[in-house]
């Protein structure tokens, strides 16, 4: 298991103690972003579409619901024809998002059964705008962050296993190999940030482009020094789809940038083609 380091100390917004910032890496957490009544309505709406079955309390697959523009697997862009209307419980809080200059138009609502998680990954750079949001509800969970390193870059260039657990993961993120959970001297420090229920996480800059994020699958978490049983958790991942000339990325983290990886692969193919 990766050795956990202490999370860097946040700056508390002088105008609102519920806003925590890690400006150096573009990370922000807003506690109590939604009310308990909004949270209850979201949980009800989720299970109106996907009723909880007995097995859904066991640590197995996440359940995902997608809203907004669908991802087109042929163009790797936003589908102009496939769209699932975004429910009111989402549109109603969009005016409260901290970045109003561009708003998300793709929403993935997920239910994590108790004990389940999501492997370390970097959400695709080229197809989604910089601001990446995650709204947590139902229960708190620690999210792990780690600055990507040479190992991650290498793993992202390995051929992908075809057995993806769901389509979302294969297209919206470059999942790292499971190996990245194993001890590795080369790895940069991993630290955890507790995402309380009803909080909004915003990743921009290095935390968006250069860090991997993950939720370890665990039965229990240590929260403020006490061991607590992991509960079912919900989240809404919100992204804005890049279109036309916005597609691409020139971030400072080429090792884990899908745009750079694609360029390298295209370059590699050209070389092979030109060899007689
Ligand atoms: O559940 C979360 O908070 C994060 C999910 C995530 O990282 C993703 O969908 O890419
Ligand atoms: Fe993600």
- Tell whether ligand 1 has an atom less than 6 A from the beta carbon of residue 212: no
- Tell whether ligand 1 has an atom less than 6 A from the beta carbon of residue 230: no
**What is the reported pLDDT for 263?**
86
In a domain, 14, yes or no: no
**What is the reported pLDDT for 6?**
81
Name the pairing type of β-strands 190-195 and 4-5.
parallel
**What is the reported pLDDT for 162?**
44
DSSP structure class, residue 172: H
**Atom 1 of ligand 1 has which residue's CA nearest to it?**
235
Instruction: Compute the residue count for the chain.
Output: 276
- Tell whether ligand 1 has an atom less than 6 A from the beta carbon of residue 144: no
**What is the reported pLDDT for 32?**
98
Ligand 1: atom nearest CA of 213 is 7
**What is the reported pLDDT for 7?**
87
- Tell whether ligand 1 has an atom less than 6 A from the beta carbon of residue 235: yes
For residue 108, list its beta bridge partners: 66, 237
Which of 64, 108, 134, 140 most suits a substitution to test ligand 1, by most atoms within 8 Å of the C-beta? Answer: 134
Output the CA 109–ligand 1 centroid distance in Å: 9
Q: Is 180 helix (H, G, I), strand (E, B) or coil?
A: helix
Instruction: Report yes or no for ipTM above 0.95.
Output: yes
- Tell whether ligand 1 has an atom less than 6 A from the beta carbon of residue 110: yes
How many separate domains does the chain show? 1
**What is the reported pLDDT for 272?**
37
CATH number at 31 reads 2.60.120.590
In a domain, 13, yes or no: no
Structure tokens at 90: 């989402």
Distance separating alpha carbons of residues 48 and 52, to the nearest angstrom: 9
In a domain, 153, yes or no: yes
Q: Quick check: pTM over 0.90?
A: no
In a domain, 238, yes or no: yes
In a domain, 222, yes or no: yes
Output the CA 275–ligand 1 centroid distance in Å: 43
Instruction: Determine the structural domain holding residue 191 and report its residue range.
Output: 19-271
Distance separating alpha carbons of residues 218 and 229, to the nearest angstrom: 9
Q: Is 11 helix (H, G, I), strand (E, B) or coil?
A: strand
Closest to 19 measured CA to CA, from 33, 37, 39, 38: 33
In a domain, 47, yes or no: yes
Structure tokens at 242: 């890049």
Ligand 1: atom nearest CA of 143 is 3
**Atom 8 of ligand 1 has which residue's CA nearest to it?**
237
Output the CA 136–ligand 2 centroid distance in Å: 13
- Tell whether ligand 1 has an atom less than 6 A from the beta carbon of residue 109: no
Task: Please report which ligand is nearest the Cα atom of 62.
Answer: 1
Closest to 236 measured CA to CA, from 128, 144, 132, 166: 132
Q: Is 143 helix (H, G, I), strand (E, B) or coil?
A: strand
In a domain, 11, yes or no: no
The 10 Å Cβ neighbour count of residue 5 is: 13
Distance separating alpha carbons of residues 128 and 121, to the nearest angstrom: 14
Please report, to the nearest 10 degrees, the dihedral formed by the alpha carbons of residues 175, 112, 237, 171 taken in order: 30
In a domain, 12, yes or no: no
For residue 22, list its beta bridge partners: 27
CB 201 within 8 A of CB 28: yes
Tens place of pLDDT per residue across the chain (276 aa): 567 888 899 999 999 999 999 999 999 999 999 999 999 999 999 999 999 877 666 657 889 999 998 766 566 566 778 899 999 999 999 999 999 999 999 999 999 999 999 999 999 999 999 999 999 999 999 999 999 998 888 888 887 654 344 444 444 555 554 444 555 555 788 999 999 999 999 999 999 999 999 999 999 999 888 999 999 999 999 999 998 899 899 999 999 999 998 888 887 654 434 333
The 10 Å Cβ neighbour count of residue 206 is: 18
């Amino acid at each position: 298991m990766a050795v956990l380091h202490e999370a860097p100390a946040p700056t508390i917004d002088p105008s609102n103690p519920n806003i925590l910032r890690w400006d150096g890496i573009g990370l922000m957490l807003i506690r109590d972003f939604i009310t308990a009544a909004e949270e209850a309505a979201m949980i009800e709406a989720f299970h109106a579409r996907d009723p909880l079955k007995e097995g859904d309390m066991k640590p197995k697959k996440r359940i995902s619901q997608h809203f907004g523009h669908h991802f087109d697997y042929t163009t790797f862009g936003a589908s102009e024809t496939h769209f699932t209307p975004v429910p009111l419980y989402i549109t109603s809080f969009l005016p409260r998002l901290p970045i109003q200059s561009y708003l998300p138009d793709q929403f993935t609502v997920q239910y994590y059964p108790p004990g389940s998680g999501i492997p370390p990954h970097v959400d695709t750079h080229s197809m989604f705008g910089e601001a990446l949001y995650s709204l947590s509800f139902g229960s708190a969970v620690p999210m792990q962050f780690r600055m990507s390193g040479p190992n991650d870059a290498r793993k992202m260039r390995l051929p992908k296993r075809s057995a993806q657990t769901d389509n979302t993961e294969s297209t919206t993120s470059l999942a790292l190999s499971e190996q990245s959970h194993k001890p590795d001297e080369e790895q940069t420090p991993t630290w955890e940030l507790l995402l309380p229920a009803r909080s909004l996480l915003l990743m921009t800059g290095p935390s968006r482009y250069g860090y991997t994020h993950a939720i370890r699958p665990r039965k229990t978490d240590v929260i403020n020094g006490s061991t607590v049983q992991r509960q079912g958790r919900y989240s809404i991942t919100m992204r804005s789809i890049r279109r036309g000339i916005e597609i691409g990325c020139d971030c400072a983290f080429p090792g884990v940038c899908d745009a750079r990886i694609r360029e390298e692969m295209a370059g590699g193919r050209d070389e092979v083609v030109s060899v007689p």
